[in-house]
Amino acid sequence: METFFVEDNFDAIVVGAGHAGVEAGLALAKKGHKTALLTLNPDNIAFMACNPSIGGTAKGHLVREIDALGGFMGIAADKTMLQIKMLNRGKGAAVQSLRAQSDKNYYHRFVKSTLENTENLRILSCEATEVLTENGHVIGVKTAFGSVLYAKTVVLCTGVYLKSRVVAGEWFKYAGPSGFEASNGLTQSLIDLGFSVRRFKTGTPARIDGRTVDYDKMERQDGETNVYPFSFLSPRVPEKQTPCYLTYTNEQTHKIIRDNLDRSPLFNGMIQSTGPRYCPSIETKVYRFKDKARHQIFIEPEGADTNEVYVQGMSSSLPHDVQKAMYRSIKGLEHCEIVRYAYAIEYDCIDSLDLLPSLMYKRVEGLFTAGQINGTSGYEEAAAQGLIAGINAGLYLEGKSPLILRRDQAYIGVLIDDLVTKGTDEPYRMMTSRAEYRIFLRQDNADLRLTEIGREVGLVDDYRYEVFKKRQHDLEVAKKELTVMRSPKDVHDFVTKYGGDLNSGISYEGMVKRGIPLEDIKKEFGAFNDLPYDILETIETDAKYQGYLERGLVEIERAKRLEEKKLPKDIDYEKLDGLRLEAREKLQKVRPLNLGQAGRISGVNPADIAVLMVYLNK
């Protein structure tokens, strides 16, 4: 007879303490649920195994949304920031995104300290090897030590640690990132529970000694101070910031890589798992884009307490001797010394089509998954899922309906809907192009979209809510001032120098619609003087895109009507007359909650939706 000891009884267990696990654990604990946060090693809590940065295109949106809902990543990013920039400044407001360099070690320490001092949360170092269930409900987990932890809900946030294998050239080792141990026991338990398990791959570049870099040969890239931070609670970004540097690969670099492709695990068959399309290795870039003479390489700081720097854009799994020659062929890196060589890492993950939009597993009540176990890539995507899984695990404990954000409400809604409706055959990355309502889903208005929701689910405390109410008040003041009319006599010369004529009075809003920057209006007329930068950005963007926003609202209302048409849970799509064979198979697998979700499934066309509408009308 098998023997075990009971570690403790909890309301909730979160397995994994990466960026997804941190958000899930904090959400559950803040909602008042006794929570265990299991980690293979407390030293890898919120560890940035790859780029020491937060944000980026579309990812910055996710972080602002996490913050607006009452999550933690934005606060941690602001606290540990070395540099921040707004990407895509020259493009429209919908695709501009914050990106910050973080102090890697400080980020880990700050998050770990926060977790350690959070009420209702216990950190426990152990490996979860089995998810325990009873009558279709989760009841806890078993550990490699033979102990059992009981709970009514479990959130799996295992990252890239499931049967992970690190590879560089002919060398490989079954281990997690940065030398941490792998989680080898849990995959079989997932298979036994009916999960579809697949194998994905990601990679990371070398870290080099910054003292051996010739920065004078590179282009200095400074941060920005005229930009808002990630968290709506943070007053400002730091004035003093650490620079990054830009350099490029060259023909010599490419020749070294081409001459050694037969030694690359990605090309010689040693790695057969699926890698990220939008963040390929340098050898993949050189092979795929043969016409490109060079590729951008950024040298980024790992932290304020280390000389190590990160070589962004050069992830690789080539052998170490090839890596050394490859890196040293780059301008400014001719004499670089490598501290940590680049590597690829393979790991197990699940098919996200096995999940409900709440991120609960379809076959086991109370079992949620979040982060890279769901087939995504990136800290921000992981944290967003972790927050929603934590919220919904808490709502499950409370007997309440789950929080399911729509595609018109948040990038988080787009991310999760893509995963559970369309699935992914490669590590999923969030991009602005995935959001059809992106003009509504801007960074600057994340709190206006989501903070009331965060308040309803119990994560937005009184202080955060007061800050939100103050922003709402400032916006109303700004919008009122935007309608102030000025006579033609007072503004004619100013307005016409931007083009066009002026025959009547015009408001500040009318000037913005003519393309006049609000900052110029502010300087010329002394308007909006007591209002902060982020408030002015929001009212300027809303005024500039008013026509698009109004047309978009019509589309959103049309989509909402389809979302409101619920599909019964017990439909047998195999027996539904009129559906095409592919549609039957896809609908049977995904089991959409409503017509809107059904229409977004790959392989389901408008004719199939018409069949479902007839069925519902009957």
User: What pLDDT, on a 0 to 100 scale, did the predictor assign at position 1?
Assistant: 42
Selection from 232, 192, 265 nearest residue 98 by Cα: 232
pTM: 0.95
For the chain, give every residue range classified as CATH 1.10.10.
473-552
The fold of 473-552 is: Arc Repressor Mutant, subunit A (1.10.10)
Q: Which long-range contacts (CB under 8 A, 24 or more apart) does 259-265 make?
A: 260/318, 260/319, 260/322, 261/287, 263/169, 263/170, 263/318, 263/319, 263/322, 264/169, 264/317, 264/318, 265/167, 265/168, 265/169, 265/172, 265/317, 265/344
For the chain, give every residue range classified as CATH 1.10.150.570.
564-617
pLDDT tier, 260 (very low <50, low <70, confident <90, very high otherwise): very high
CB 283 within 8 A of CB 342: no
Q: Tell me the pLDDT tens digit for each residue of 75-132.
A: 999 999 999 999 999 898 899 999 999 999 999 999 999 999 999 999 999 999 999 9
Running DSSP on this structure, what letter comes out for residue 594?
Answer: B
564-617: what CATH class?
mainly alpha
Q: Tell me the pLDDT tens digit for each residue of 396-444.
A: 999 999 999 999 999 999 999 999 999 999 999 999 999 999 999 999 9
Determine the CATH number of domain 207-346.
Answer: 2.40.30.260
Share of the chain above pLDDT 90, in %: 87
- How many DSSP H helices and E strands does the chain contain? 20, 24
Q: State how far the Cα of 22 lies from the Cα of 4, in Å rounded to an integer.
A: 28
Q: Tell me the pLDDT tens digit for each residue of 324-357.
A: 999 999 999 999 999 999 999 999 999 999 999 9
* SS3 readout for 346-404: EEEEECHHHECCCCEECCCECEEECHHHHCECCHHHHHHHHHHHHHHHHHHHCCCCCCC
Q: What is the CA radius of gyration of the chain?
A: 26
Which residue is associated with the tokens 């670099």? 253
Q: Tell me the pLDDT tens digit for each residue of 139-194.
A: 999 999 999 999 999 999 999 999 999 999 999 999 999 989 999 999 999 999 99
User: What pLDDT, on a 0 to 100 scale, did the predictor assign at position 462?
Assistant: 97
Q: State how far the Cα of 463 lies from the Cα of 115, in Å rounded to an integer.
A: 20
Number of neighbours of residue 395 by Cβ within 10 angstroms:
18
Cα dihedral value 67, 367, 31, 13, nearest 10: -100
pLDDT at 553 over 50: yes
Selection from 149, 111, 115 nearest residue 130 by Cα: 149
